[in-house]
Amino acid sequence: MKNIGIKLKTKREENGLSIDEVAEDLKMRPSQIISIEEGKMEDFKDVFYLKYFIRDYAKYLGLDGEKLLDEFNEYLFDITSKIPVNLINEAKKDQENSNKVASPYTKEEKNKLKVPKLVIILAAVAVLVIVGYIIISNSNHDDFKSNNITYNTRR
């Protein structure tokens, strides 16, 4: 993976492009470009997206994207062929137990805030009741209604 990153970085520098320019043109974050160039595959949530980032980045720089993808696939094969069988079996069991695809290369994002839906609904109802009360109480105190107003009808 580092060899691919070195090729991409060298070509980017030969073209006189900055990381920010490349990131903007490819609609990627600069940190993603840096991770690809440094060969940090673990910085990506899924290898599937990384493959397309590499291909698009290579094409953008004028390199053969398919050739680099083949090189990346060979790198992946070398890594995956070294995965112990017990980890593969565990991934299969996890996949059977859930509807999600289990892969040792896919990171799951954890929900940082778990608020039950009932709490959110109750809070929304409470806000609506308070707003309704304020609107109704203000509409009952109409400042234009007054019994003390006298009209001068003489002319």
What CATH number should be reported for the domain holding residue 60?
Answer: 1.10.260.40
Whether 51 maps to a domain, the answer reads yes
Query: Is the C-alpha dihedral spanning 118, 123, 128, 130 positive or negative?
Result: positive
Whether 30 maps to a domain, the answer reads yes
The pLDDT tens digits of the residues spanning 25-83 come to 999 899 998 988 898 888 888 888 888 888 888 898 898 888 888 888 888 777 767 77
- Its pTM stands at 0.52
Whether 53 maps to a domain, the answer reads yes
Cα distances from 115 to residues 111, 123, 128, in angstroms, run 10, 11, 20
Whether 152 maps to a domain, the answer reads no
Whether 38 maps to a domain, the answer reads yes
Whether 66 maps to a domain, the answer reads yes
**DSSP states of 66-97 as a string?**
HHHHHHHHHHHHHHHTTS-HHHHHHHHHHHHH
pLDDT at 81: 72
- What's the domain count of the chain? 1
Among 70, 98, 82, 2, CA closest to 41: 2
Is pLDDT at 10 greater than 60 in this prediction? yes
Whether 15 maps to a domain, the answer reads yes
Whether 103 maps to a domain, the answer reads no
Confidence of residue 107 (pLDDT cuts 50, 70, 90): low
Contact 62, 22 (CB under 8 A): no
Q: Which amino acid is at 70?
A: D
Domain span at 72: 2-80
